[in-house]
Structure 1
Amino acid sequence: MKKLIVVVTAAILAAVYSLPAQDEMDVSMSVGYESRYVFRGVTLADESLTASIEAAFGDTYLGMWTNQPITGSFDNEFDFYGGMGFEVADGISMDVGGTLYFYPESGTGAETFEIYTGLAFDAQLDPAIYFFYDLDLNTLTVEGSVGHSFEVDEGTTLDLSGFLGFVDISEGEDYTYHGASIDVVKSLGDTASGSIGVRYSEGSGGLEDEIYFGGSITSGW
């Protein structure tokens, strides 16, 4: 696995240094806390710290996200991802990419690779639909989402979002999931913001309903 991480890191560096000089790179970082880590309807950890970093240049982006449980005996997770976003029609943009899920404390099957593509629409409630396929787990996920941001006052917004998904598992029981979130987002300057909010998740097939909360601080340059 160390060799794989080296290869991924080398690919990221190669992509960055191969960019034309005129391509401006934007970098964002975040740190956060979540009282639960719920992924596509499945609770993977209790209280957790999260962190991420992403670099975007032109239509291309590369990043890393991690979840670090602070209670219970749950596995750490590192996600390395990259993709490209572009407009395919007036008001319609497409996103294509891949994600490597890495669980260093797990045994067999400690990593999987997933490809994805999605469409986002410049319309009321910002609807989007994504298709994910895990090449190692042979699992297809389809997820749709909507969201809206309300301005509370200067520098403060109330962000609402909802999602609905279906997971087709080749060697297991298929299931559906849905959820929503409400976050208060406060500007902390020209390039930073903080957020805190409540999330809800529910799924079929015996998945637990979850109401949990979290917050984060994000900075960019």
Structure 2
Amino acid sequence: MKFFGKLCFGALLAASAMSTPAFAQDESAEIGEASGPLTLSGGISVTSDYRFRGISLSNEKVAVQPTLTLSHDSGFYVGTWGSSLPDSPAYGKFELDLYGGYATEIAPGTSIDVGVTWYTYPGSDDGGAPTDYFEAIGKLSHDIGPLSATGTVAYAWDQDSLGDDSWYLNLGLGYGVPNTPITLSAGVGYADGSLALTAPDGNYIDWSLGASYVLGPATLSVQYVDTDIKKTGVKAFDTLYDPTVVFTLGVSF
């Protein structure tokens, strides 16, 4: 039941469920300088609408999203990602994701990434009702020249804040246009379970098309996002998953 509340809190204010996509930190390009076996990378971005898995978690308003990751050359990493939120008693003003995992290349052009993310909301006050939860995420990626494909499986088991378990599957494609700083992207995902209760059937499909332009440490991206969630007739809810175009400007270090 938690996700329905998360997805609708923007309307109740007028969700913050999970970030993202994949791991939340994927939303920011990460460029770091190695110091021995460790690499520290991070960045900050401003997005016109914090959309996660097709749903607006910022009530269609601008969000600021910082990230920081510490990686070891063995493949293990830990980090944090955050996003500003519309103020609400249940979720406060900020989402904070803490994550850790292991990433490595298992064959030429093929990589895996497995980890766990903890989603927490500092400053929330909803009468003691839990909002934090954990999610396990696994990815398999393969590159063929400028084309890359990534399959993602995310699983959130039954927890106090969820009431039931939840699955999310995603297939994403990226194409780096040769001899340009432009990358084209497309993705389709399927959500089912407690984190998809905003959909009448308890499951839904989301998809996106986008492009990004890299100039030094800065990245400008534009993305069309949509879902197949049926309208409820309540405008405050329906606008959270209306088709939209999202603009994001990020700087990495």
When normalised by structure 2's length, the TM-score is 0.69
Separation (CA, whole Å) in 1 of partners of 2:108 and 2:37: 24
The structural deviation recorded for 1:72 is 7.0
2:50 is matched with which residue: 32, 37, 59? Answer: 37
Separation (CA, whole Å) in 1 of partners of 2:187 and 2:168: 13
Q: Deviations over 1:57-110 (max 9, x none)?
A: 1211111000014x6767411111111012333432211100001122443232
Corresponding residue of 2:64:
49
> Could you tell me the percent identity over the aligned residues?
24
Contact 2:208–2:225, Cα closer than 8 Å, also in 1? yes
Separation (CA, whole Å) in 2 of partners of 1:152 and 1:93: 24
Separation (CA, whole Å) in 2 of partners of 1:115 and 1:195: 28
The letter of the residue matching 2:166 is T
Structure 1 residues not aligned, in runs of 5+:
1-21, 188-192
**5 Å matches for 1:87-166?**
87-106=105-124, 107=126, 108-124=129-145, 125-135=147-157, 136=159, 137=162, 138-150=165-177, 157-166=181-190
Q: Deviations over 1:16-41 (max 9, x none)?
A: xxxxxx96111111011101000001
Structure showing the higher strand proportion among its residues: 1
The letter of the residue matching 2:113 is D
Separation (CA, whole Å) in 2 of partners of 1:134 and 1:23: 35
Separation (CA, whole Å) in 2 of partners of 1:149 and 1:111: 36
Contact 1:23–1:57, Cα closer than 8 Å, also in 2? no
Cα gap change, 1:164/1:123 in structure 2, threshold over 3 Å: closer, same or farther? same
Separation (CA, whole Å) in 1 of partners of 2:193 and 2:218: 37
| 1:212 has 2:212 as partner | no
When normalised by structure 1's length, the TM-score is 0.78
Corresponding residue of 1:168:
192
Structure 2 residues not aligned, in runs of 5+:
1-34, 231-240
Corresponding residue of 1:182:
211
Separation (CA, whole Å) in 2 of partners of 1:37 and 1:203: 15
The letter of the residue matching 1:174 is N
Separation (CA, whole Å) in 1 of partners of 2:111 and 2:97: 24
CA RMSD of aligned residues (A): 2.1
